[in-house]
Amino acid sequence: MRSLQRLIQGSVLLLTICAAGIGGTFQFGYNLSIISAPMLPIQEFINETWQVRTGQPLPDHLVLLVWSLIVSLYPLGGLFGALLAGPLAIILGRKKSLLLNNIFVVATVTLFGFSHRPGSFEMVMLGRLLLGVSAGVSMNVQPMYLGESAPKELRGAVAMTSVIFTALGIVIGQVVGLRELLGDPQAWHLLLASCLVPGVLQLAFLPLLPESLRYLLIDRGDMEACLAALQRLRGTTEVAEELAELEEERIFCQGRRALRPWELFQDRGLRRQVTSLMVLGSALELCGTNSVYAYASSVFRQAGIPEGKVQYAIVGTGSCELLVACVSCAVIEMVGRRNLPIAGYGLMACWGSIFTVALCLQSPLPWMPYLAMFCVFALILSFGLGPAGVTGILAMELFDQKARPAASMVCRVLMWTMLFLVGLGFPFIMGGLSHFLYVPFLGVCVCGTICTGFFLPKTKGKTFLEISEELHRLNFPRQS
C-alpha cells in the first residue's frame, strides 16, 4: 500500500514538474537556442525586405544592427515580463499566471509564421519582444509554483528541475535547428514558430493540476481548497503533519500584505537575503557562459572540426549542460544549496584561466586549440553544476510568502538586464580583448564563490518558517 502511495505521489509530482516546465524554462531555453540557427537567412530576409521597399540594399552594418536588435529584444521583453510576473502571481495565482502567459506565445507564433509573406522584419522584432515577455513571466512564476507545492525533503530537487528544462530546451532547440530538420534557410519562419508546441502542451496538461498550496492557504485563506490540493499532490489523505506546517506558516504571515519590490531594500530583516539575491543573480549572467557559447564555434573550427560538423559539436555543449543539470538535481539534497555554487564558480574561475592561456598560445602550439575546446565543455559543465540551478531558487527559499513574488521579480529583472547588457556589449568585448575575452568574467566567478560562502545560509531539509527564523538570527545577531 505504501509503495502504491509513493508511486501515485511520484507520478503526480512528475506531471506537475513537466506541465510547469514545458511552457516555462524549457520554452526559454528553446527560444534562446533556435534564434542562432537562422541568423544568415534572417539577415538576408532583412536585406531583401528593405530592397523591395526602397529599391536599394541595406548596408551591411545596418543589417547587423537590425539583427542585433532582434536578438536583444528577447531579454528586453524578459525584463518587462519579470516586472509583470509579480503582480500576476499575487492577483491570479501561480497556475493561472502560467496558463494566461501562453497568450504571448500564440501572438508570437502568429507574427513569426506570417512575417515572410508581407515581407516584414518588424513582425519578427515584435514577436521576439512578446516571446521575451512570456519567458520573463514563466521564469518567475514556475519556481514559485513548484517550490510552494513540493514536499520539503524534495523542494531543492524539484526547484532544480527548472534548470533541467532550460538545458533540455537548449539541446532540443539546437537539434531542431540542424539543417536536416528546420535549419533549412527557407524554413526559418517555421523554426521560430515551432515555439507553439511547448505552449500547447502546457495548455493541455497544466489545467489538470491544482494551484500552489501556499497561495491557496496563505494568500487566499482557503483551507478546503488547500487540503484538497495537498491530498491530490501527495496521493493520500494522511497529510495532517504537512498541513500543520502550512498552517504555522500562515499564522506567521497573518496580518501582513505582499511586499512591493522597493520595500525589500528598506527592510533590515531582509538585508542578507537581498544581498545574496543581487550578487548571485548578477553573477549568473556575468560569469561568461554566454560568451563561451558565442566563442565555441570559432574554437571548434580552430581545433580542426570541419565546418559542416561544427553544428553537431555545439549540440554537444548543450548536452553537457543538460547532463550536469540532471546530476545536480539528483545530488542537491545530499550536497546542499551552498556547496554547489561554490564548487561551480570555483571551477569556472580555474577553467576560465586555462581557457585564456590556451587561446593566447594556440598559434605557437598546435595542440592548444584542443585544450581550448576541452575548456569550453569544462566551463559549461561547471556552470551547470550549481550556479545555473541554485540561483534560480534563491528567491523561492530565502523569502517568505509575502516577500517571495517581489524578490523573484527583483532577481529576474536583474538577470534579464544583465543578459541584455552582455548581449549588446559582448561583440565589442570580443573585438577589443580578442583572446583575453574571458578575463573580465574571471573576477565575477571569484566574487560568486566568496559571496556564496559568506552570505548564503544552509536551507537543506528546513521548512520555510525555519529558514525565516534562521535568517532573522543572522540579520540581527545582537538580538539573538
Q: pLDDT tens digits for 174-233?
A: 888 888 887 777 888 888 888 899 999 999 999 988 888 888 888 888 888 888 888 888
Model pLDDT, residue 3 = 65
Residue 434's region, left for phi above 0, alpha for psi from -120 to 50, else beta, is left
Residue 35 one-letter amino acid: I
| Residue range 354-364: mean pLDDT, rounded | 80
Q: 37, 190 in Cβ contact below 8 A?
A: no
Q: What is the pTM of this model?
A: 0.82
Residues 6+ apart with CB under 8 A from 10: none
| Residue range 394-418: mean pLDDT, rounded | 79
| Residue range 326-348: mean pLDDT, rounded | 79
Residues 6+ apart with CB under 8 A from 417: 75, 79
Q: pLDDT tens digits for 227-278?
A: 888 888 877 777 788 888 888 888 877 777 777 877 878 877 777 788 888 8
Q: pLDDT category, 416, cuts 50, 70, 90?
A: confident
* Alpha-carbon 441 to chain mean position: 19
Q: Which is more confident, 149 or 152?
A: 149
| Residue range 61-88: mean pLDDT, rounded | 82
Model pLDDT, residue 303 = 62
- Helix axes 339-360 and 368-385, enclosed angle (nearest 10): 160
DSSP one-letter string for 88-146: HHHHT-HHHHHHHTHHHHHHHHHHHHHSTTTT-HHHHHHHHHHHHHHHHHHHHHHHHHH
Most trustworthy range by pLDDT among 239-248, 299-308, 331-340, 394-403: 239-248
Look up residue 235 and give its three cell numbers. Answer: 496521493
Nearest of 198, 180, 182 to residue 190 by alpha carbon: 182
Domains detected in the chain: 1-209 (1.20.1250.20), 256-480 (1.20.1250.20)
Residues 6+ apart with CB under 8 A from 430: 291, 294, 295, 437
